[in-house]
Amino acid sequence: MIYLDHNATTPLDPEVLEAMRPYWLTPGNAESRHSAGRAARRAWEQAKESVAAILGAEPGEVIFTSGGTEANNLAAFGLAGAEHSPGHVVSSPIEHPAIGEPVARLEVAGFAVDRPNVSREGVADAGAMAATFRDDTRFATLMLANNETGALQPVAQLAELARERRIPVHTDAVQAVGRVAVNFRALGVATLAASAHKFHGPVGVGLLLVRSGVRLGSRLFGGGQQQGRRAGTIAVPLAVGLASALERWHAAAAERETRWTALRDRLEAGLAHALGPDRVVRNGPADAALRLPQTVNLGFPGLDGDALLMQLDLAGVAASLGAACASGSTRPSPTLVAMHVPDDRLRSSVRFSLGATTTSAEVEAALPRIVAAVEQVTEAAGSA
């Protein structure tokens, strides 16, 4: 199997597993006052310090969560103050379900929601989003990098415009952290979500950065851990794993970005050469610098995406049609719909995404398999 679906999840780095191992095998609740508890507390604090240093935050601004979904939900409902009277929210129409669904729930509860259009390349317009701000706007949300197309979004620009109105901005950075440099302070946002399993860390742990001074209502109540914002026993091994994975990305960031960009471009160019520009079309920004270095979304006009994905799987290539969290849906991708992608490729677009383990040899081996899969599906459609 040639695994080209790292935006869905990445394999755990064996060295990250080793970093976590001692904390799985020894007791110690980080809230306990004995030596075992103090050791767990030190490991947790060190994980916070490491994460904060890499992401441009303060250790006290780091909240560990069960993943990106929980982090996004904490931010959305916490910033909205959903327990109070409804207000107004501004969102892009290309958000991942982990933020899109909470915003939709707020809308059902009586919140007004504006979702200004994005460009045909899938990039939000910060000015258009800011133009919808109202006196009762509770927060605005814009992802840092789109999970399907890899399109980088103008989050810092939106945060600057929102600052004038004292409106907090949340960014879902799940697909950006561990792929490109992310600086919480420089972005100017109030909250930022990330998830370890997107950068070769363990499944089941993520983080929410909350800028000092930002009021964020809690959704979990219990022991008051993590400043009362996320109650529950701290999963020290998972926090250590997240920090270790982020440290390993940070140490190799420049090399990975250069290699990923070359492999991504080789994959796209190789398919375009073999199939022709009319049979494979990129969805996303034309400027490669405005996309994640390891993500490419390609439309194969006229083909059935589900049939193509099945054929790719039979050929030993793992890819996806879009967000893995919504893969069971028969609806076309909301991101591609928002981009006004033509009908002939709306349901035939495939996302290929690379990871730290992807090699040049794998990309070269994948190219003829993908081409053969496209030809087989095309032939089957023609004879139907």
Quick one: pLDDT at residue 323? 54
Quick one: pLDDT at residue 191? 98
- Domains of the chain, by residue range, sit at 2-9+253-383, 14-251
On the question of a common fold for 2-9+253-383 and 14-251, the answer reads: no
Kindly name the residue from 112, 253, 325, 326 that is annotated as catalytic.
325
How far is the CA of 5 from the CAs of 58, 67, 309, in angstroms?
A: 32, 18, 12
What is the C-alpha separation between 270 and 248, in angstroms, rounded? 30
pLDDT of 227 higher than 90: no
SS3 state at 220: coil
How far is the CA of 215 from the CAs of 43, 48, 74, 190, in angstroms?
A: 27, 20, 12, 9
What is the C-alpha separation between 329 and 341, in angstroms, rounded? 18
User: Which among 77, 383, 26 has a CA at the least distance from the CA of 230?
Assistant: 77
Average pLDDT, the chain: 94
pLDDT of 313 higher than 60: yes
User: Which among 205, 250, 223, 220 has a CA at the least distance from the CA of 23?
Assistant: 205
Taking only the tens place, the pLDDT of each residue in 62-119 is 999 999 999 999 999 999 986 778 999 999 999 999 999 999 999 999 999 999 999 9
Quick one: pLDDT at residue 275? 97
Quick one: pLDDT at residue 284? 97
- At 173, the amino acid letter reads A
Superfamily of domain 2-9+253-383: Aspartate Aminotransferase, domain 1 (3.90.1150.10)
pLDDT of 183 higher than 60: yes
Three-state secondary structure of 28-69: CCCCCCCHHHHHHHHHHHHHHHHHHHHHCCCHHHEEEECCHH
For residue 374, the surrounding DSSP H or E stretch is helix 360-383
SS3 state at 145: strand
CA 129 to chain centroid: 21
- At 8, the amino acid letter reads A
User: Which among 145, 159, 172, 182 has a CA at the least distance from the CA of 75?
Assistant: 172
DSSP state of 223: S
Quick one: pLDDT at residue 241? 98
Taking only the tens place, the pLDDT of each residue in 319-333 is 999 655 444 556 789
What percentage of the chain has pLDDT greater than the value 70? 96
CB-count burial class (<10 Å; 0-12, 13-18, 19+) for 18: exposed
Quick one: pLDDT at residue 226? 76
Confidence of residue 229 (pLDDT cuts 50, 70, 90): confident
For residue 364, the surrounding DSSP H or E stretch is helix 360-383
CATH class of 14-251: alpha beta
Quick one: pLDDT at residue 384? 62
Per DSSP, the residues of 300-357 read -TTS-HHHHHHHHHHTTEE-BSS-GGGTT--SPPHHHHHTT--HHHHTSEEEEE--TT
> How many residues are listed for the chain in this entry?
384
Quick one: pLDDT at residue 228? 67
Q: In the structure encoding, which two tokens stand for residue 248, read together?
A: 């390993």
325 is catalytic: yes
